[in-house]
Amino acid sequence: MKDKYGREIDYLRISITDRCNLRCIYCMPEDGICQVSHKEILTYDEIQRICSCITTLGIKKIKLTGGEPLTRKNCSTLVRMLKELPEIEKVTLTTNGMLLKEQIQELAEAGIDNINISLDTVDKAKFEKITRRKGLFKVLEGLEEALKYPNIGLKINCVPVVEEPENLVAVAKLAKEYPIHVRFIEMMPIGYGKEFLFRGESEICEILEKAYGRMTPISMRYGNGPCHYYEISGFLGKIGFISAISHKFCSGCNRVRMTEDGFLKPCLQYETGMDLRTLLRDGVSDAELKAQIETIITQKPKCHHFGEMNEPEQTEHRGMSEIGG
């Protein structure tokens, strides 16, 4: 369906847990966050029911996020349940990769279409500084194992939090050596992300072109969202950018989000939305659930105001791990 500004909303991002096995410095404190209790988190049956309703409004693509979604038991079961919905074209997943090696076969058998691996550095010491945990080798092993499944599209998501330019060059090299796309995602000024250096697309392009030569923009899309891509001669994969601040893409935004406890959010920046979990557990009919979801989509804000001097009222105060990355 279209929102009141004429944007086609066809993409739902679902956080299935706020738990994570890393403690990334821009995401949460070292001691972690106050976690939602298990009874407050949507069950897989509840998620499937919401998705069944929302597909009748035009949602065709679903991304599972967290927290770290693979820390939730039987994540592949949910993938299979969502793939059973006839209107759904793609079910994808964003993971930190720590548990991917052990679960990739089950995910593949369940029908996962694409997997994005969050990886900000390929340097062991920097990885441990960013994540406050050991385990870079686990992420790289997970990537190697996932490459054995050619029907699953693979991408690397890199938040350019490391100051040294050579770190960006090293991460981008993964797209040179493997048939995967490396995407650089601008730091979102939400929660702990507000405390870190902003590095924009133009600066990163300059660094990469100095290392690898000309980057040629292409019109091809390789996913559900607003990422745009470049080709570099000799690379097996593409280099992409999600530049929510420097290249604001609100006019073409096609997504809504749902937190692990069932709060449907029409925009990342604002705390407004609707508690679908309470509706479900109070016995709402499918028709009423659909009507309530339609209301939220219709009320999607025109744009975010990140980076502006005065934050708007009702700005979201939770961190990304609590909202869903």
Return the HEC string of the chain. CECCCCCECCEEEEECCCCCCCCCCCCCCCCCCCCCCHHHCCCHHHHHHHHHHHHCCCCCEEEEECCCHHHCCCHHHHHHHHHCCCCCCEEEEEECCCCHHHHHHHHHHHCCCEEEEECCCCCHHHHHHHHCCCCHHHHHHHHHHHCCCCCCEEEEEECCCCCCHHHHHHHHHHHHHCCCEEEEECCCCCHHHHHCCCCCHHHHHHHHHHHHCCEEEECCCCCCCCCEEEEECCCCCCEEEECCCCCCCHHHCCEEEECCCCEEECCCCECCCEEHHHHHHCCCCHHHHHHHHHHHHHCCCCCCCCCCCCCCCCECCCCHHHHCC
pLDDT of residue 131 exceeding 60: yes
Q: Where residue 223 falls among pLDDT bands split at 50, 70, 90?
A: confident
Instruction: Report the pLDDT value the prediction gives residue 200, as an integer from 0 to 100.
Output: 84
Q: Average pLDDT for residues 265-291, to the nearest whole number? A: 94
Q: Is residue 4 part of a domain?
A: no
In the chain, how many domains are there? 1
The residue that leads in pLDDT, 198 or 47, is 47
Q: Is residue 2 part of a domain?
A: no
Q: CATH no. for residue 38? A: 3.20.20.70
Instruction: Report the pLDDT value the prediction gives residue 263, as an integer from 0 to 100.
Output: 96
pLDDT of residue 192 exceeding 90: no
Q: Is residue 160 part of a domain?
A: yes
| Single pTM value for the model | 0.92
pLDDT in tens, 70-106: 999 999 999 999 999 999 999 999 999 999 999 999 9
Instruction: Report the pLDDT value the prediction gives residue 303, as an integer from 0 to 100.
Output: 85
Among 29-43, 63-77, 283-297, the minimum mean pLDDT is found in 29-43
Q: Is residue 5 part of a domain?
A: no
The residue that leads in pLDDT, 240 or 163, is 240
Among 154-168, 259-273, 276-290, 294-308, the minimum mean pLDDT is found in 294-308
Instruction: Report the pLDDT value the prediction gives residue 324, as an integer from 0 to 100.
Output: 64
Q: Is residue 151 part of a domain?
A: yes
Instruction: Report the pLDDT value the prediction gives residue 137, as an integer from 0 to 100.
Output: 98
Residue 227 CA: distances (Å) to CA of 181, 249, 281: 11, 9, 37
Instruction: Report the pLDDT value the prediction gives residue 322, as an integer from 0 to 100.
Output: 62
CA 275 to chain centroid, in Å, comes to 21
Q: Give the residue numbers spanning the domain of 54.
A: 11-323
Q: Is residue 239 part of a domain?
A: yes
Beta-strand relationship, 90-95 and 114-118: parallel
pLDDT in tens, 305-319: 665 545 555 565 565
Q: Is residue 77 part of a domain?
A: yes
Instruction: Report the pLDDT value the prediction gives residue 142, as an integer from 0 to 100.
Output: 98
Among 31-45, 117-131, 235-249, 274-288, the minimum mean pLDDT is found in 235-249
Instruction: Report the pLDDT value the prediction gives residue 270, as an integer from 0 to 100.
Output: 80
Q: Is residue 314 part of a domain?
A: yes
Among 113-122, 174-183, 239-248, 263-272, the minimum mean pLDDT is found in 239-248
The mean pLDDT value of the chain amounts to 91
